[in-house]
Structure 1
Amino acid sequence: MNTLNKALAGKLDSLRDVIRGYEKPCIAFSGGVDSTLLLRVAVETRGAAAVPMTVNGSMMPRSEFGDAKALAQSMGASLCVLDVDVFSVPEFVENGSQRCYYCKKNIFTQIKGHAQELGCDVIFDGSNLDDLDDYRPGLLALEEMMVVSPFIKAGLTKQDIRGLSAFYGLPTADKPAMACLATRIPGGEPITRKKLLMVEQGEECLKVLGLRQYRLRYIGSMAKIECAEEDFELLMDRRQELVSNLKAIGFKTVTLDLSGYQCGSMNEVKK
């Protein structure tokens, strides 16, 4: 392990103290940067009593689900998998401004029920201080469900989480930000399984090209690509291949957003 500066070491101690306050925590686990560190510290602190739980549904890319299973196994944790059908939630399908709230409420209701059956005394999620500055209606659902966010309690930002992930040697330390596939569809436009699948397949095309931070926004029949500016040249060099592959998926038009990748760019539509 690398060494930590005093400030980050203090936050890690605070994080451990939060986790020690519970006997058998259930960790809402996606395999992303945040939940992977949370699981690592929970296993370190609570051992086999730490229970990672992930949901398998249309809003999660298959590759991410596979990575989550492998990560949990690498940490010696026994992963619980819940199959969820987000399309059973009308508000999710309608894709209104509170979609995330209703989706989170549905998912965490199921997580909570299963966690209680396993004897867990708390549910942890990986929200951090930076999330409080973003448009995240799902946070209200977590609060109502009495889900505990250890990173927020310990005062950790996303940068802190990446720093601690590097300290532990986690493969997710520099993993690009990932979000629910539904965030690629403009607010007010109904969500369908086909649309989510098209987005998932389209983003896989971007990943194969070698891009790391990107989003493929579903705008009607158009695929709008957001990526880091340094990847623009790569896209231009491979544009014919990319356009051909995206059209084969079902998109009619392919565009590149010259503003580059913007986290939560769809939020402007939803507010």
Structure 2
Amino acid sequence: MMGVEKLAALRNLIAELDRALIAYSGGIDSTLVAKVAQDVLGDRAVAVTAVSPSLFPADLEDARIQAAAIGIRHELIETHELENPNYATNPVNRCYFCKSELHDRLRELAQAWGYDYVLDGVNADDLQDYRPGIAAAKERGVRSPLAEVGISKLEVRAIAKSLGLPWWNKPAQPCLSSRFPYGEEITLAKLQRVGHAEYYLRKQGWELCRVRSHGDTARIEVPQEQIADFVTMTDLEKLVNHFQSLGFTYVTLDLEGFRSGKLNAGIGRDPERGCRD
């Protein structure tokens, strides 16, 4: 099917559900699902965003702005995955425990509010990756309309653009827990430190960046083609002082450049896949 046909199929699929609750992170995948659900179901659709220490604070504000622009009802819930040792010890299937917490909470809300279906933003490409969070969602009966219709990540962006969504090319922003190597314990203080560090870089104009945390070392990633500009345009002394004030001892720049999931490439699994969206 072409993009127009897949959009029509997506609309038809969601229309058949009558009422739906959307697990809405503010990423482009779940935003597209929320947009179509609002268009098709109107006030019978609700978007719900989970708030926890692993959510980048600026992403919550983005989610609010986007939901308001779409016109969909938007609710917030708190999740407490960090309290689960199975999550906090950061195993390779960490996302399973995150999504288990999320969808247990969403299922409770859906039942309380009279919604028969919970939808997520998993797309067709996601099914080809190592995604322990998908298993947790499926175990709880979550529907993935993008994947069911066969919409890929590139098609998500193309359809979002055709619908006039200004966030169609928004960079992926996985949860902050993806900044730590598997096996390194995740704590509230560490999440806050990484979040503040990345926020600092974003405020300096580096929209696509990561701060990888290796114990007391911060490893900065920006796209390879931006590395030279980063070195020449950044006040490096000020940056180092700021990062050290956050609790890092060493601050480094990855000369290979940004690549999603590179932190754990050695074990062949991408910690950024499936986080939050």
Same fold (TM over 0.5): yes
- TM-score, normalised on structure 2? 0.92
1:253 matched residue in structure 2:
250
2:147 matched residue in structure 1:
152
Q: What is the RMSD computed on CA atoms of the aligned residues?
A: 1.4
Tell me how far apart the structure 1 counterparts of residues 172 and 17 of structure 2 sit (CA, whole Å). Answer: 29
Matched letter for residue 152 of structure 1:
A
2:79 matched residue in structure 1:
84
> Conserved in 1, the CA contact under 8 Å of 2:35 and 2:72?
no
Count of residue pairs the alignment pairs up: 266
Tell me how far apart the structure 1 counterparts of residues 184 and 214 of structure 2 sit (CA, whole Å). Answer: 9
Stretches of structure 1 lacking an aligned partner (at least 5 in a row): 1-5
Map Cα deviations across residues 113-155 of structure 1 (whole Å, 9 max, x no partner): 0111111111100011221232221111011111111110111
2:241 corresponds to 1:241: no
Task: Tell me the CA shift for residue 30 of structure 1.
Answer: 0.9
Tell me how far apart the structure 2 counterparts of residues 129 and 264 of structure 1 sit (CA, whole Å). Answer: 19
Tell me how far apart the structure 2 counterparts of residues 157 and 242 of structure 1 sit (CA, whole Å). Answer: 38
> Conserved in 1, the CA contact under 8 Å of 2:81 and 2:97?
no
Matched letter for residue 120 of structure 1:
Y
Map Cα deviations across residues 148-167 of structure 1 (whole Å, 9 max, x no partner): 11110111111111111111
2:136 corresponds to 1:130: no
User: Judging changes above 3 Å, is the alpha-carbon distance between structure 1 residues 113 and 180 closer, same or farther for their aligned structure 2 residues?
Assistant: same
Task: Tell me the CA shift for residue 82 of structure 1.
Answer: 0.5
User: Judging changes above 3 Å, is the alpha-carbon distance between structure 1 residues 214 and 100 closer, same or farther for their aligned structure 2 residues?
Assistant: same
Task: Tell me the CA shift for residue 189 of structure 1.
Answer: 0.6
Partner secondary structure for residue 127 of structure 1: coil
Tell me how far apart the structure 1 counterparts of residues 107 and 265 of structure 2 sit (CA, whole Å). Answer: 31
Task: Tell me the CA shift for residue 21 of structure 1.
Answer: 2.0
Aligned pair partner of 1:35 in 30, 34, 37: 30
2:265 corresponds to 1:268: yes
Stretches of structure 2 lacking an aligned partner (at least 5 in a row): 270-277
2:97 matched residue in structure 1:
102
Matched letter for residue 195 of structure 1:
K
Tell me how far apart the structure 1 counterparts of residues 129 and 261 of structure 2 sit (CA, whole Å). Answer: 8
Task: Tell me the percent identity.
Answer: 35
- TM-score, normalised on structure 1? 0.94
Tell me how far apart the structure 1 counterparts of residues 79 and 191 of structure 2 sit (CA, whole Å). Answer: 15
Aligned pair partner of 1:161 in 151, 156, 160: 156
Q: Choose 128-137 or 211-220, whichever is displaced more.
A: 128-137
2:61 matched residue in structure 1:
66
Map Cα deviations across residues 230-268 of structure 1 (whole Å, 9 max, x no partner): 221232121222222211211111111122111122343
Task: Tell me the CA shift for residue 269 of structure 1.
Answer: 5.2
Matched letter for residue 54 of structure 1:
T
Tell me how far apart the structure 1 counterparts of residues 66 and 195 of structure 2 sit (CA, whole Å). Answer: 21
